[in-house]
A and B are shown apart, each in its own frame.
Chain A
Amino acid sequence: MRLPKFDYRQPESIQEACAILLDQPDAKVLAGGTDLLVNMKHRVETPSMIVSLKGLRDLDYVRKANGMVRIGALTRLKKVYNDPFVAKKLPALAAAASSVGSYHHQTMGTLGGNLCQQTRCKYFNQSKWWRSARPLCFKAGGDPCHVAKKDQVCYSTYCGDVAPALLVLNAEVVLSGREGSKQVPLESIFSGVGKTPLNLEPGQILTEIVIPEQSADGFSTYKKIANRGSIDFPIVGAAVWTSASTGESRIALTAVDRKPVRTRQLEDFLKGLELNEETIQGVDGLVAKETQLMMSSIDSISYKRKLMGQLVKSALSEAMGGR
């Protein structure tokens, strides 16, 4: 498959990049390209211009300052999980980053690109010819949704591995625009709208991921079930962070909804409860309630639902052991 035609720009500064993006509303940012280029070949994304972030060399770092771990958006996943602090103190992040796709995706894919990746759907991630056998779906520019069997909705699924890990680590992200930058909770950038899954304003790019060092104090893990060991998006992925000192826990899931999901009711349920076999068994029903599973992948809803419960329970059991 070939890429469609596009103009290519490689700005030298964030400001310049933002300016180009503002100027060209249908331009797309290119980081590692492992998500974007595939979608372009499938013609589900056809930006008239690609704005490569390759020139922004100073967005590639993992550093600690003032009680925060700061990671540049262009840092490759491999560099993220190989960082000694991340590897040792933020195991959920290390596990998530090292579980993305195959080794090749980890050496090419960036942390920012991973968070900002497109949602997925079995009717969407297909070639143009394949899709021509059905009316163009809503996300791809038509009206119907083949998953929901109605018009003007999209239930494509967010399948990124790293977002749930960063969510339970209470990460924030820095969004930069022409007017400057602001730091917002990571969770706020996910819209939950299948067609436009990110809440980024025109001209905005994600430049930095910020993790409070306190998150290193708790227990954290990311668990993923995928078809194969060598490559594959999660069928379900779950991140769990717990603190022995405060009794708090944070849980987030991926591949179960249009965005990565923090399961707040479940967290509330677990609050103050002692983590033991019994409390853990209670999680099944709650987890399912907080997600909206749809048949957007070839894995069935019931299977995903079963796995979700299993994953959270096994992560919590590990947390118990970890204390």
Chain B
Amino acid sequence: MEKQFSVVGKRLPMVDAAAKVNGSAQFTDDLTFPGMLHGKLLRSPHPHAKILNIDVSKALRLPGVKGVVTGAEIPDRQYGIVPKARDEYALAKGKVRYIGDEVAAVCAIDPEIAEEAVDLIEVDYEVLPAVFNVQDSIKEGAPVIHEGVANNTSFAIRKEFGDVEKAFAESALVSEDSFYSQPVNHAPMEPHAAVAQYDPVRGQVVLWSSTQIPFFLRRNLSATLMIPESKVRVIKPKVGGGFGQKIDMFAKDFCAAWFAMKLGRPVKFVYERDEVFIVTRQRHPMHLTVKTGMAKDGRILAQQFLSYADGGAYNSTAPTMMALSCFFLMVPYHVPNLLYEGYHVYTNKPVGGAMRGHGIPQARFAVERQLDLMADRLNLDPADVRTKNSIKAGEPHPGGFVINTCGFAESVQLAAEAIGWKEKRGKLPFGRGVGMGGASFPSGVTNMSHISSGAVVQVGQDGGVNVLTGAADIGQGAETVIAQIVAEVLGVSLDDVRVTAADTGTTPLDPGTFGSGVTVRAGNAARIAAESVRKKLFECVADELEANPDDLVARDGVIFVTGSPEINITFPKALKAYQYKDLPMPLVGRASWMADTNEPTTLFTQPGNFSPNYSFMTQAAEVEVDTQTGKVKVLKMVTAHDCGRPINPMLVEGQLEGSIAGGMGQALYEDVITEKGQVMNPSFLDYGFPTTMEVPEMESIDIETDDPVGPFGAKEAGEGTQLSPAPAIVNAIYDAIGVNFNELPVTPEKILKALEEKKKQGV
């Protein structure tokens, strides 16, 4: 039998792994240019204040300072990743809304002078009353954070289908429980940075930025600098992690470009670690009340949600976040009747934004916890409840999603087996327990403007393949996956493929890295582009092989007739033949890909499909609680995962492992602690996310489904697995010590307190 694939599905190291290991990979801060200047931002020390006056004269007089800019001087153009939710200026105009809000920027010949100059800027503030939580912020008479936004509620959504009330009335058990998820920081290893250069002759700004979304950044820069998009070129060097935090434009991007344009010299901004913690983005803290009606056998009959997201001072991705948080309550379980109400509320605190899972981890935590609570109340096995409620491929979906493949029920069973569910659940000694959580995630979105990717594949005379893609590899391996797809289509090896990526000046349009759509969207574009190259080659060599071009296969450097591998021609010879026939070189193929566009653009008011395809997973944890110190040790985490056909299983595992560490952080370790709006732990040391030493034994089980839409059957593997580890851990804690925690994180202190309470009550 002919083997199916040679490059796809292989555990191959990332194409840039060696450069990252030997240190030659260039990140934004590694770039230096002759005459480069260094920028620094002055930030608000107040959570809420009017800016009465800014005196920059002293700063300007400091030798070495080349420029200072304040909000008063920049164009009156707000930015934001979601057009209808734009509410931010690169530098505050008239008012600051949280501790860290940008007030002015300085640019000097070295970073030390820039830092010194920032201290010389004198700002008169009129301090305003501030609010630090949702409850206070929505109250009548609360301080107004953004003019014209009533109750500080910048975004409200409501989605409803079926008849929730009727279903509740028919339920054997209706439970209402409240949950809280804390603010979590992405903490990428590489701090946010930007370098800008200006070409006064062509009037073009070039910005190198540590970003996930070069093309959106170009648009935001163009809008705020008030120059055409064609005059802005954004280049993404290597990026050391993003997790959603680098989806927005930041003051560093705007100010670098601003100064470069004004001063005609390259300008660099690099954020400090405390800036990354305080002034970029964080996962939204969210209060969520869930009311679920269940039949006696554990079937979900209806769910009703009320959620309040604490957005901090600005919107960032608010509408998208709220929408995702809502829509992804419709998978992986069949919810026939649903009512969701959600509110995004401003507070004078750090800004919430996209973070791995984007609104869904908070919702998933609530639902997965409540499933366990209700299974307990109905005396059912939580694993059975999950399988029983699983949606199924090909069946009508109450919300209108199109589910072509779904390995969810299988994932519950396999995860349960691997963790030893039957033998362990409820049977381990006190202090030890197992728990699980399930989830599903989209591979990008269907039918939204600009959510479309292009690719160009070019084969040179020596057989080297060049791929141009706009996909933004931020460390997850997007370039590797795209190279594997192209190599597979052309039947060459991964080494033959070079990827040039993410430069709005040279590479095709791509929305960037978010929504876990890169592999499906940019991967499909690359696949089709490569296929068009292959088609030309096949047509050229078909005569020689006395075969129909449709019967040819390219694999392992050879083109052969399907079923008769002995009738073949090598890839280099085929290329030569192509040239000798006086066909034009280079061989180029290009393609654009977008998901099915027949779907409604908003799912708030009508049913419809959200994504080209959906990943499914169950994660099961075994934990040990130290009843003396309250510490929770995660002993093992199993992931049973349906991401279609993994293009590179090793990269998928990397994502799984990272998500387990992230989920442990969310469940046990991480919390952006604020006191009156000030972040108390803005460092790697004090924030305290888990490290390698905390990471448990990890087992991953691949449930291969061959998805019809994804390239080579692939689905997303980036964000979905971030949803289930936290509830799995907290559910396991319940199994271990019999305490239900509905608020994150579950700190050792909370555990000790709960154990004491328990002792007091004599249970």
Bound CA–CA A130/B44 (angstroms) = 10
Verify A228–B691 contact, CB threshold 8 A: yes
**Residues B99 and A232 in contact, CB atoms below 8 Å apart:** no
CA of A228 to CA of B278, assembled, Å = 23
CA distance A233 to B749 in the complex (A): 17
Q: What is the number of contacts between chain A and chain B, taking CB atoms within 8 Å?
A: 65
The answer, yes or no, to whether B523 is at the interface (CB within 8 Å) is no
Identify which of A133, A228, A233, A310 gathers the most chain B CB atoms within 10 Å of its CB.
A133
Q: Given A2-B112, A122-B680, A122-B686, A303–B694 Cβ distance below 8 Å?
A: no
Contacts A298-B680, A306-B752 given; indicate if A228 touches B46 (C-beta within 8 A). Answer: no
* Given A129-B43, A133-B45, A303-B752: A230 in contact with B682 (beta carbons within 8 A): no
- Give bound CA distance, A126 to B48, whole Å: 21
- Are B45 and A303 neighbours in the complex by a CB distance under 8 Å? no
Q: Nearest CB to that of B671 among chain A residues?
A: A298
Whether A133 and B680, one on each chain, are in contact in the complex, defined by CB atoms closer than 8 angstroms, is: no
Q: Which residue of A lies closest to B748 (CB)?
A: A303
Residues 201 to 226 of chain A near chain B (Cβ within 8 Å): 225
Query: Counting CB contacts under 8 A, is B564 at the interface?
Result: no
Interface centre among A228, A300, A302, A310 (most CB of B within 10 A): A228
Interface status of B678 (Cβ within 8 A of chain A): yes
Report which of B111, B673, B678 forms a contact with A298, defined as CB distance below 8 A.
Answer: B673
B690, A228: Cβ atoms closer than 8 Å: yes
B384 interfacial contact with A, CB 8 Å: no
Bound state CA distance, A132 and B119, in angstroms? 10
A1 CA to B630 CA in the complex, in Å?
35
Q: Is the CB of B673 within 8 A of A230?
A: no
A67 at the interface (CB under 8 A from B): no
Known contacts A298-B673, A298-B681; A231 and B43 CB within 8 A of each other: no
A229-B694 in contact given A2-B115, A300-B749, A306-B752 (Cβ < 8 Å): yes
| A227 part of interface (Cβ distance < 8 Å) | yes
Whether the pair A229, B691 counts as a contact (CB closer than 8 A) is yes
Closest to B669 in A: A227
Q: Which A275-323 residues have a C-beta within 8 angstroms of B?
A: 298-300, 302-303, 306-307, 310, 314
Residue count of chain A within 8 Å CB distance of chain B: 30
B79-100 with Cβ < 8 A to chain A = 99
Provide the residues of chain A in CB contact with B630, threshold 8 Å.
303
Q: Indicate if the CB atoms of A230 and B692 lie closer than 8 Å.
A: yes
Q: How far is the CB of A322 from the nearest CB of chain B, in Å?
A: 19
Residues of the B chain whose Cβ atoms lie less than 8 Å from the Cβ of A128: 119
Q: Contacts of B274 on A, CB cut-off 8 Å?
A: 126-127, 129-130
Interface string of B97-129 (1 = CB under 8 A from A): 001000000000001100100010000000000
Do the beta carbons of B272 and A133 come within 8 Å of each other? Answer: no
B749 and A227 contact, CB distance less than 8 A: no
Query: How far in angstroms is the closest Cβ of chain A from B657?
Result: 16
B400 on interface, CB distance cutoff 8 Å: no
With contact pairs A129-B43, A298-B673, A300-B749 given, residues A229 and B693 touching in the complex (Cβ less than 8 Å): yes
> What residues of A have a CB within 8 angstroms of the CB of B682 in the complex?
126, 130
CB-CB under 8 A from B99, the residues of chain A are 133
Chain B residues in the interface with A (C-beta under 8 A):
43, 45-46, 99, 111-112, 115, 119, 272, 274, 278, 628-631, 669, 673, 678, 680-682, 685-686, 688, 690-694, 748-749, 752
Could you show 18 A-B contacts with beta carbons less than 8 Å apart? Answer: A122-B680, A122-B681, A125-B686, A130-B278, A133-B45, A225-B629, A225-B631, A229-B691, A229-B693, A230-B691, A230-B693, A298-B681, A299-B749, A300-B749, A302-B749, A303-B749, A310-B629, A314-B628
- Which 7 pairs between the two chains have the least Cβ-Cβ distance? A229-B693, A133-B45, A230-B691, A303-B749, A230-B693, A227-B688, A132-B45
